[in-house]
Amino acid sequence: MLSIKDLCVSIGEKEILRGINLEIKPGETHAIMGPNGSGKSTLASVLAGRETFTVTGGSATFMGKELFSLTPEERARMGFFLGFQYPVEIPGLTIVNFMKAAINEQRKYKNLPALTSGEFLKMMREKMAFVEMDPSFVGRGVNVGFSGGEKKRNEIFQMAMLEPTLAILDETDSGLDVDALRVVAQGVNKLKTKENAFVVITHYQRLLDYIVPDIVHVLYKGQIIKTAGKDLAVEVETKGYDHLINEQ
Amino acid sequence: MKEYTYMPEVRRVFRCTVPDENIRQVFLVDGILQEEENEKNGITLKRGPEEKGLYMRVQGDHFAETIQIISVRSEDLPRPLEFTNEWELDPGAGIQIIVCDHTLNEHLYRTSRFSKISLGENARLDILFMQNEHIRSRYWLDLIANLGQGAQLDCHVLSLYGGIINNKLRAVMNHPGAVCRMDGLYLADGEQHIQYDIAVDHNAPDCYSRQLFKGILDNHSRGSFNGAIKVAQGAQKTEAYQANHNLLLNNEAKVTTKPQLEIYADDVKCSHGASIGRLDEMGLFYLRSRGISLDQAKMLQQLAFVEDVLAGIRTQAIRERLEKMVESRLRGEFKKCSNCTMHCC
């Protein structure tokens, strides 16, 4: 589904990712862990198409296409989803208008007719209930005045609406209380199928108690220094990153 | 759709689709009122000075009613035209007015529209100016409003299209308890120039005023905003707020903004602010990451930017209609049918 080979990424003169190799197959859940500044968010952003980063080497294919030749919107329509670490506030744009535009673009790409207002609102209601989001949020500005937890819940809501093939959740757990964490995790677990894949970027093992990964990667200074099963997350939690870094 | 056939000289371009069927329409063609002096349910309508423009007097509360004044220029050999429209509301009277200014062809029209508003005690007027002419037109609006005690004025100005648009708006509050809200939206591209000069005079205590003006400028267009609030000595407990925000879509468009506040009283709440900015890159990326194209993302951001100005328009049906018009204007579709606002989309 997603295959990354020797990916090198810079911002300005600064090299952030230095040869990433990653293979994600349908049905898998990956966790990417690592200390601050290791390049986790950069990896997520560059895969989603953020233009502030420059790909200086390597390649990535997504659903058989060269990922870096696609615009962010093309990637999204093909089923790529990024759950933002810091969801953006857009005053004046309601969630309903935002999602209507997104869903209709996606349907157009799939050669499906646009949803009627009734169909769309029904879908909105179902998905909002799914992430336990207050229906009054529909008419509010995107992320405007939302608490940290509400913003992350909104990301999961959007994910539920768009039903992506590959979702990367960038520190969706940071700043969440236990209840919000449970909702986020439940959202992911319920959306998980044999056909899609999830990548969870996190600092802590806590989220991984709820979303059990098949494969855990530890990223350090722009390289994946260790890949193993779910026990690696426990190892990180108990022993810290230093011990893995010293193993190098 | 309702058609107006009683005006053969007004071309069929006015198949106006303002959604409310009950809106009374009044035509001004080249500054001449197209109906005889009349009085209906306390609303008196007649020609203004020198047989040009209009004079409207409102008695009684008609605030649930809307009168649409469609003011067009259509002469083939245009000369500069100047006329005055006057609205006089008796104490306690109320009405909503929409003034739509159009040109029916692409001649070089210069039109100066003086507007006088006088509101009696506790009178309420909601007036909306829709300015939609064409790239060679020269549009002047010079409005002065006097507010009586406890009177309430809502004034919205939407500058959609015109070569040079110059709006001079002045509200004078000489009596306590008056409320004045002025909103404006200007959308400019190509070589358009749009200028706003706003003055709000607080000469009496306990009055409230609020201004919100927003502009989006593209290509080589120019915008200018001068807004002055003056709070006289003795105008205590005044609340006066002013905001002007501008969005520049490229590096060539230019806007100057000059918010001014002069306060001679010592117990007031006042603020003013202005900003000039660009579309938010992070916001665009966020929208695109959900599958929305770059063009559509830019459009959504622009519509989001003007949302609070349009939200001030009271009647839902008219507000929705104007939202669509602003959207089609932002999409650049107005150049194709620049003669008429009401017949597009």
Give the tens place of pLDDT for each residue, A151-199. Answer: 998 999 999 999 999 999 998 888 788 888 888 888 889 999 999 999 9
DSSP A192-212: --SS-EEEEE-S-SHHHHHS-
The minimal CB distance from B304 to the residues A75, A76, A92 is found for: A92
Check CB contact of A106 with chain B, cutoff 8 Å. Answer: yes
Give the mean model confidence (pLDDT) for residues A25-37: 92
Cβ burial of A21 (10 Å; 0-12, 13-18, 19+) is middle
| pLDDT score for B332 | 72
Closest chain A C-alpha to B318 CA, distance in angstroms: 19
For chain B, what is the HEC assignment?
Answer: CCCCCCCCCCCCCCCCCCCCCCCEEEEEECCEECCCCEEECCEEEEECHHHCCEEEEECCEEEEEEEEEEEEECCCCCCCEEEEEEEEECCCCEEEEEEEEEECCCCCCEEEEEEEEEECCCCEEEEEEEEECCCCCEEEEEEEEEECCCCEEEEEEEEEECCEEEEEEEEEECCCCCEEEEEEEEEECCCCEEEEEEEEEECCCCCEEEEEEEEEECCCCEEEEEEEEEECCCCCCCEEEEEEEEEECCCCCEEEEEEEEEECCCCCEEEEEEEEECCCHHHHHHHHCCCCCHHHHHHHHHHHHHHHHHCCCCCHHHHHHHHHHHHHHHCCHHHCCCCCCCCCC
Contact B291 A102 (CB under 8 A): yes
User: What percent of chain A has pLDDT above 70?
Assistant: 100
Predicted local distance difference test score (pLDDT) of residue B314: 85
- Candidates B212, B287, B302, B310, partner chain A, best to mutate (most A CBs within 10 A): B287
Report, as an integer, the average pLDDT of B149-157. Answer: 97
pLDDT at residue A246 in the model: 81
Give the ipTM of the model, two decimals please: 0.95
Q: Partners of A228 in the beta sheet? A: A216
Task: Tell me the nearest-neighbour CA distance from A141 into chain B, angstroms.
Answer: 9
Q: Look up the pTM and report it.
A: 0.88
Comparing CA positions, the residue from B6, B327, B283 lying closest to residue B158 is B327
pLDDT at B2 over 90: no
Contact residues for B21 (Cβ-Cβ < 8 A; gap 6+)? B2
Q: Which of B292, B305, B307 has the CB atom closest to A73's CB atom?
A: B292
Residue of chain A whose Cα is closest to the Cα of B306: A92
With a cut of 50, say whether residue B14 has pLDDT above it: no
Question: What tens digit of pLDDT does each residue of A187-229 get?
Answer: 889 999 999 999 999 887 888 888 999 999 999 999 998 898 8
Question: What is the distance between the alpha carbons of residues B71 and B131, in angstroms, rounded to a whole number?
Answer: 10
Residue A74: pLDDT band (50, 70, 90) is very high
Mean pLDDT within B136-144 = 93
Phi, psi of A68 (to 5 degrees): -75, -5
Query: Residue B322: its pLDDT value, please?
Result: 83
What does the alpha-carbon distance between residue B199 and residue B168 come to, in Å, rounded to a whole number? 8
Residues 115-144 of A with CB under 8 A from B: 141
Residues in B touching A47 (Cβ below 8 Å): none
- Check pLDDT > 60 for residue B36: yes
Close Cβ partners of A13 (under 8 Å, ≥ 6 residues apart): none
